[in-house]
Structure 1
């Protein structure tokens, strides 16, 4: 029954992380230690991403410019505008920092493993999915903070210290991982289970530390049932517009069905693996936890939705197009 409700095992992990931070947040003298562990976990996460993302396949896959260009346009163009629209619509109903989280959600890159797995399960172009995920994350490490700064106004100003942290904690480990790819990638591919567990642990640690700070700052005193309901409602609308929009965008571009499926998941999914570290880098700890609420809800919901959509696409006859 749990497998039907939570088709992706990472969903209950995130739920457990939020519950743990709510009841047992990091406090006092333990905070610097937890932040140090979180930073180390983030560095490891981006190093592994650099090792894993296939540089050669990315260069080869860029030749499919129509698909890759449309994925970039939808992920960082359409989704950023949807996030901005959600922020403007929610700012009168929610705390400003929480509303800002919808814009933050919109500028993030796509997932890597989840989008590729969903595309494979749905009969999409798996090779193109790998390339799209890699390319979106390569671009996203630099483009996401710049987009946020451009669209968020004064709330998105990036200080020199924050820019250095992005380079040191996110970009530099990724580059080192890319340089070490020839030596380490075979080992990483042979131990997928271990590296996936390391990825998820790193994300969970980053979420736990950020959300702990928000709990200590009184996030549950600031949010009532009505506001939480608004967040869930806004995320449901965003999911409908993002998945429906990506599918319609693929039809508008007359993409082949496998490429259209690839665009659906690469364009509409958003990555907590980039979101949690980036929030921890851009915002003070208490603010980061509040900003992360929309992407936490969206990420868990997209995993469930994708796991339900993919089998339906497989069952759909090849000659029939879902509109």
Structure 2
């Protein structure tokens, strides 16, 4: 999906895909899969996740990624924001237990802080705000690749037993379900990229359908296990308040931190949007592997944060687009080739 094809209608306060996710949760609550149906749903979900990461691998151009490495300071800043600053704030949320967040919601809040950055919306908002779009493409892509390895390792280190009993078997599952399909997609890209380019719209439905299946399976397991009795409306309000503070802090850190590091306006915009956001597409499949039957509570903070970041960043991007023009400076990876490859990388 290119930055020009992502539309966030001003008259629609909620992302349509979030409505689809909510609908899936409702279906799982009313008609949860159990017994043989749960086994079938679980196996289908596992296959869908593997296929999803295969598609991610086929879409990332190795040449564009290598070109983006020239702007290493920007990418390192985004990675530090995603996998250092966010996790530190997630760890600080332990102080909110038990008065603000329950232990289960706090584990989900911490997991939210460990997942990689999103690609599509980071590019779209950077484009709207007249920022460094190629840098946003590469930064989001690098974060997603690194997250396949870093997120499970951070989960093992910081979440421990709350991550569904994280073990060597869990790490093997992550490798087999996420990393191996991604690498296979990279290896086969020269033969599959043309076909995928011609069928982007259909494969986009496959992308989102796979994630909806993961959500249905996770929430079905949660319903059968009875864990939703642990969530009250007051806890949800408290969770939203904690996430609002988290997002505000990260938006401030990425903008002011990039300024202190000497980045120009275009780069600061890319850093802010790529460094303050979290990927629902990457986080949901990982949670299904790491948390098992408790995945439904674990992904709830991520689902809420995803919608919140879209709404807030849409407003920020529109305001940034009205900033006065600055003289253009040479920026590392802002090559025409990378701009031309935006659609293929971000879809």
Q: Structure 1, unaligned stretches of length 5 or more?
A: none
* Structure-to-structure mapping, 1:10-49, within 5 angstroms: 10-49=17-56
User: Could you tell me which residue of structure 2 aligns to residue 253 of structure 1?
Assistant: 261
Match of 1:203 among 211, 215, 231: 211
Structure 1 residue matching 2:11: 3-state secondary structure: helix
**Residues 17, 208 of structure 1: 8 Å contact kept:** yes
**Are the equivalent residues in 2 in contact too, given 1:7–1:307 (CA < 8 A)?**
no
Q: Does 1:173 align with 2:181?
A: yes
Whole-Å separation in 2 of the counterparts to 1:219 and 1:226: 16
Is 1:294 paired with 2:294?
no
CA–CA separation in structure 1 for the residues paired with 2:234 and 2:215? 24
TM-score, normalised by the number of residues in structure 2: 0.86
Q: Distance in 1 between matches of 2:267 and 2:54?
A: 29
What are the Cα deviations for residues 242-295 of structure 1, in whole angstroms up to 9, with x where unaligned? 22221122212121111111111111110111111111111222x111111111
Q: Which runs of 5+ in 2 are unaligned?
A: 1-7, 327-347
Matching residue within 125, 129, 132 for 1:118:
125
Query: Is 1:140 equivalent to 2:137 in the alignment?
Result: no
Does the 8 A contact of 2:222 with 2:295 survive in 1? yes
What secondary structure does 2:177 align onto? helix
Which of 273, 291, 294 aligns to 2:281? It is 273
- 1:61 maps to which residue? 68
Give the match for residue 160 of structure 1: 168
Match of 1:100 among 96, 100, 107: 107
The structural deviation recorded for 1:69 is 0.8
Deviations 1:287-313 (A, max 9, x none): 111111111111121122222222221
Is this contact kept in 2: 1:75–1:110, CA < 8 A? yes
Contact 2:129–2:320, Cα closer than 8 Å, also in 1 = yes
Superimposed CA distance per residue, residues 61-120 of structure 1 (whole angstroms, 9 cap, x where no aligned partner): 111011111011111110111122124424444332221111101111001212112212
> Are the counterparts in 1 of residues 156 and 167 from structure 2 also a CA contact under 8 Å?
no
RMSD: 2.0
Which moves more between the two structures, 42-51 or 6-15?
Answer: 6-15
The Cα shift of 1:154 comes to: 4.3
- How much has 1:190 moved relative to structure 2? 3.0
Q: Is the 8 A contact 1:280 1:288 kept in 2?
A: yes
Q: Is the 8 A contact 2:100 2:239 kept in 1?
A: no
When residues 220 and 247 of structure 1 are mapped into structure 2, their CA distance, relative to the original with a 3 A threshold, is: same
